[in-house]
Amino acid sequence: MTTLVLGHKSPDTDSTGSPIIWAWYLSEVAGTPAKPVLLGEPNTEAAFVLKHWDLSKPEIISDVGAGDKVVIVDTNNPAELPPSINEAAIQGIIDHHMLVGGLKTKSPIDITIRPLACTATIMHDLIGDKLASAPRGIKGAMLSCILSDTLEFRSPTTTPHDRAVAEKLAADLGVNLGDLATAMFEAKSDVSAFSDAELLRMDSKEYNVAGKELRVSVLETTAPKLVLDRKDSLMASMVDVAKEDGADQVLLFVVDILKEEATLLVPNDLVKQMAEASFGCAVSGDTVVLPGIMSRKKQIIPALKL
């Protein structure tokens, strides 16, 4: 039986590239037949990365079957995984997020979670010397995942090890790391094809803060104006998205990768109150700029309160 390697819903570059990397490792090095699958369309950056490194887009699946062999990467959160995930035969987990609890296995499996910026960095370490035999596309995917998750080392989640691995890979591949990152971020910033609801859900995760169910959406971009020009319709759309997704509120942080700041949309008093309590800022209009804020995991979620 082929092992399915999958990341989280709404796949970004790490959740698209890491399954490809690990399925390569399992199939070609460990001798375990495996294939990467996606839980949705890759975002525009991930689509660019696939094309850039000449990688096939993995099949998109909506669920896993009971007993399917599955390796989970880049998440350990059942809410971000297929509905039947706990019926599958989970073989392993490789992740870099906080442990949320909820995944269960029937026997001991391989689990590696590390406080690094990127799943692909952990895979680099697990693969070790065998990486030398990897095709260019696998090393390229690994480099792109790290550039994406670290926002080219700007994000505070970046560790010296993530950076060292990316620089080593770039040298090995003979690519200019800055040029690649710029092209990736430009691809991610092209949001013209997406509806407001799609933008709000694109890179969003659900959290419960002080009894409120929040959908915390982060759009990383080098062209924040493209998003902020749409703020009125985005704020109107938040109401419907929250309702459909069973959330109390959608929070949208527009992260300016180059200026290293986030702009939070403030559609109502709840968000205003939350912004002021969480970030110690004073909100006057319907947006507030949060200097230095780039990481949902490291800066936004730990700060959120009411």
Query: Judged by CB under 8 A, which of 60, 99, 239, 306 binds a copy of itself?
Result: 99
Q: What are the DSSP calls for 243-277, one per residue?
A: HHTT-SEEEEEEEETTTTEEEEE--SHHHHHHHHH
Contact status, residue 18 vs residue 94, Cβ threshold 8 Å? yes
Q: In whole angstroms, how close is the CB of 300 to a copy of itself at the nearest point?
A: 12
Q: Which of 302, 265, 299 is nearest to 283 (CA)?
A: 265
Q: In whole angstroms, how close is the CB of 229 to a copy of itself at the nearest point?
A: 35
Query: Judged by CB under 8 A, which of 35, 52, 57, 114 binds a copy of itself?
Result: 114
Q: In whole angstroms, how close is the CB of 194 to a copy of itself at the nearest point?
A: 29
SS3 call for 262: strand
Residue 161 touches a copy of itself, criterion: CB under 8 A: no
Element holding 239 (H helix, E strand): helix 231-244
Find the part of the chain contacting a copy of itself (CB under 8 A) among 109-117, 201-209, 240-248, 260-268.
109-117
Residue 110 touches a copy of itself, criterion: CB under 8 A: yes
CA distance 240 to 97: 29
Residue 205 touches a copy of itself, criterion: CB under 8 A: no
Residue 154 touches a copy of itself, criterion: CB under 8 A: no
CA distance 120 to 135: 15
CA distance 15 to 145: 8
Which residues from 52-91 bind a copy of itself, rule CB under 8 A?
Answer: 90
CA distance 11 to 40: 6
Residue 106 touches a copy of itself, criterion: CB under 8 A: yes
Q: In whole angstroms, how close is the CB of 108 to a copy of itself at the nearest point?
A: 4
SS3 call for 222: coil
Q: In whole angstroms, how close is the CB of 94 to a copy of itself at the nearest point?
A: 10
Which residues here bind a copy of itself, judged by CB under 8 A? 90, 93, 95-116, 297-298, 302
